[in-house]
Amino acid sequence: MLTDLQFAVRDFVREKMIADDDLTGSFKESSEVTDDAPLPDGYTIYEVRSATQEGSLPEDRTVIYIKVREAPSPITDLKDCIVEMYVGSPVDVEGVTPTSHGMLEQAAEKAWDESEHETIIADLTGHIENHLAAWTGAGFFAEGWQEGREGTSVFPVFAVKVGVKKRGL
């Protein structure tokens, strides 16, 4: 379940970041870049990945990582999960700067801003239902930026509590 939820949240965040007008002109989603259509000069690419996503990590772009862990709960039909997002930027790639890194941290945070997205609950629920057949969204609460948890991350994480419940309840 947690892996599927990570993919649902990854797709949700990716969708919100692609639609972010503040990033337009500075960043492009990596899926839009091909050998036939390289980025124009001055563009930086990024990728939104689930922490459990298979494949080698890209070394030529910033990555927004999505991790999900379950919050302890005695309830079996309603679960709270903690989404942790962090941004990792390579230091030796042209075009990747502290400014671009900061812009991606802001965009990742903005993906969860209800004042920016009128249909955010429906959008998140749609992604959850697409990836978890028996579950649906039950809301979320953005907790904000936090220090990385000891032993798990050296990066600050943007934490969001996401609720999911079994369909039909």
Is 132:1 a contact under the CB 8 Å cutoff?
yes
Sheet bearing 44-50, strands edge to edge = 27-29, 44-50, 62-70, 78-88, 157-166, 135-146
User: How many alpha carbons fall within 13 Å on the CB side of residue 38?
Assistant: 4
Number of folded domains in the chain? Answer: 1
Averaged over successive runs of 10 residues, the pLDDT of the chain (169 residues) comes to 93 90 65 55 75 83 90 81 91 80 90 94 96 93 83 78 88
The whole-number pLDDT of residue 57 equals 79
Domain range for 17 = 2-166
The whole-number pLDDT of residue 65 equals 93
The whole-number pLDDT of residue 47 equals 86
The whole-number pLDDT of residue 94 equals 73
The whole-number pLDDT of residue 54 equals 85
The whole-number pLDDT of residue 142 equals 95
The whole-number pLDDT of residue 37 equals 56
The whole-number pLDDT of residue 73 equals 77
